[in-house]
Chains A and B, each alone.
Chain A
Amino acid sequence: MTKTFPGVVANREVGLSLRAGEIHALLGENGAGKSTLVKMIYGVLKADSGEMRWMGAPADIRDPARARALGIAMVFQHFSLFDSLSVLENIALGMPADTDRDRLKTRIHELSDRYGLPLDADRHVYTLSVGERQRVEIIRCLLQEPKLLVMDEPTSVLTPQEVAGLFETLKQLAEEGLAVLYISHKLDEIKALCKRATILRGGSVVGSVSVARESAASLAAKMIGEELKEARLRGDGKKRGPVRLEVARLDMPAADEFSIALRDIRLSVRGGEILGIAGVAGNGQDELLAALCGEARAARNNRIRIDGHPCARAGPNRRRALGLASIPGERLGHGAVPEMSLLENGLLTSYRRLGFVKRGFIRRRECRAFVARILKRFRVKAAGDGAVAASLSGGNLQKFIVGREICQSPALLVVSQPTWGVDAGAAQTIRLALRKMADKGAAIVVISQDLDELMSLSDNIAAICAGALSQPVPTDSVTVERIGLLMAGARDAN
């Protein structure tokens, strides 16, 4: 099957086959074309050319309703749930129109007991945790009694313990004859779960392999196209400077029902140190970034100190003046203005520190030189400083944003999801740049959902769960399992 978008071929002659009772992996980097393929299988997108056969017969899957009628069910990467509706209503929406509500409720309870997926049908979805939302999705799919279940990156939002529970459920389902198409870029998961894997790279199939006969390294090599260098970017711990960021007993009430309150956050970061903050999405990461960079302000000024200066009630500009730089997780719309040129986006966070504004007027020439420096140093591929941010690829834009902050030589950098949705090359550039900055004496806080990234990059690590942060500990001294428990909210007792 082939699918083209303006400017890119997302899928080129991709082929794939699945048997009943099989858990089949679809493996590939971000941007390899996995999501496009499954959207075609589920009828959300239409292929430009190609053919699908279902149980031996050609199938025209025009829309998701047709897919469901055939027995194909899908759990989306970003859940397709309706926040303001109840669990029952959400599930009813995926069922035929004449489904009886009361009977549906009983069936939900049956399924949730059978597969160990506890769920309250009357709760509103916005009150559920991410893991609970996924359960809603899965139950919604199982109610259709599907023959094929498609799961798009299901574990990116789960703690390691929740992942283990999910795998048990999936294995049980496969034994009952269900075919599962499992999409991921995480090798260890695929090793643990799947027998066969189809590997996508740059929109084409590069191999269909038996997982048992491959090592993680050989799978990775096929996926990335070159041998993965074992990257270890932790510092040697010798060049620790003075404490640059100190957060003490920071509380932030939730702005509304959809956000998380921060509770009693304590951390301190020295120059030369990278502190990693792990956590499952939606546990207060966005709120923590907002509190640290000044978008949200605390009630007491001394709760946050930068180089000793209290600034918890100061806004972003005052904190930047103290040496802080920050990079939000969302590139388009938060870190950069999508429809504005790189020149203007360069100005966004630098205008005060670098003096690009004089008497209210913007000094374009100085700003232009600054942006040129970012583009060169971080090898950003863009059509000059006049290109709009939205026209850059994810990796290039992220390099630009990271470069914009690093080129201001901050004393302290807070960064969220530095390599989320970024190709492997750009991710490596960004991680190296962060380490280099720390080696020069800056303090860095990395908030990330990618635990592997944090294990390789950070000197100390903590986990955030429901707005509370665990005590930071040296990364060398903990295991992934221990961090997983902390991500799930276990109190540190050691």
Chain B
Amino acid sequence: MAIDPKKHEMPTQEPAVRARNFKEVALGYEEDVAVAEALRCLNCKNKPCVSGCPVNIRIPEFIAKIKEGDFEAAYQIISTTSSLPAVCGRVCPQETQCEQKCTLGIRFEPVAIGRLERFVADWHNAHSTEAPAAAPANGHRVAVVGSGPSGLTCAGDLAKKGYKVTVYEALHTAGGVLVYGIPEFRLPKTIVAKEVDTLKSLGVDVETNVVIGKTLTVDELFDMGYEAVFIGSGAGLPNFMNIPGEAYKGVYSANEFLTRSNLMKAYKDEPDTPIMKGGKVAVVGGGNVAMDAARTALRLGAEKVYIVYRRSMDELPARREEVEHAEEEGIEFRLLTNPVEILGYNNENDPRDAKNGFVTSIKCIKMQLGEPDEKGRRRPVPIAGSEFTLDVDVVIMAIGTSPNPLIKNTTNGLEVNSHGGIIVNEGGLTSRASVYAGGDAVTGAATVISAMGAGKIAAKSIDEYLSAKN
């Protein structure tokens, strides 16, 4: 049988329809499509895809089970190495990981590994009624700080080995960036909740509303009897550009805008938490967070949404798929453009004018690409005299985040680098004995899957450390 050179297409909601709702964009494969896609896998000897996966999912093995139509068995294979398959199948950048290494990809399009992973996880969630059983307890207790992807992965891996794990979450809902950051239309919150429930049935305790560094310190966790602590507190603090006008009403960090919409459900009708809807919106930045913010603004009813990015499309760091989706939905990309000032309404004659202090426009300058910087990316340089203004009501700064210092400031002997990232060795161990860390708290803002990989490595190290203590 000849191999289909192309991946089976992912069915999606029509752009014009989805641009105005918060339902998931990608609809997922049907069973017959999944089997047909699985049949494209050559089951090659070297399995390069596995090495391309930060958590080393046994990809050809689970795909072989799909070929047989045994979807539950496929799920069981994935779940031996991944705690969050339904999440990864949706948000992983497979094009730069497993799929990039796929042997089939040398001549044709690679196997749609991510879509198959998602299919298997969704199939399991829809059909399986049995909660996974907790492993026999080994008597050791571990505390995990933060319930984002690294924390959940670390907790899951340790729980499967019989550790009694407690996950501490500062917010009122578990999931970290999966619930406050990534929008519903890309990752439905019911899926995150389901993954958290799976961990709970493995015996993991999740304590929300506990801010480590405030409510409890890392030292107190040891006093409470935990033998190791994993810090997966994420990259908390949003960066601003430090240009004039950032204090005007209508200027948000992407974190704030997305948290209001996602975690606080401001996208619903008559929400308790307000958000500025409608009007014209400029999102500054070119990463996945910028795409999420822009597409969220559109769905909240914006008449026009711009992405303002200082480099060109080639350097734009967001996933291709997200950029294409955003373009299809009508988001306008203003590339090689950089904001220099945000302008606001100010009625000199009437200080009580209700419009005072709200954003009216953003002043930008055109850029051109100059010499490459130390990372090899061509540095954007302003073109003198090219300033212009865009009329907008809302400006969303999506230019990255810095690690949250709350834990560093309250934990003696925890060393951080110049960016505030916690310093760890290759096993995830920090400068403090028995304290491990991973994810954005270490690297600064990165991807869900790299955080999961770090959680996995730390879990392995913690297991080796605590089993040697016996």
Q: Do chains A and B stick together as partners?
A: no
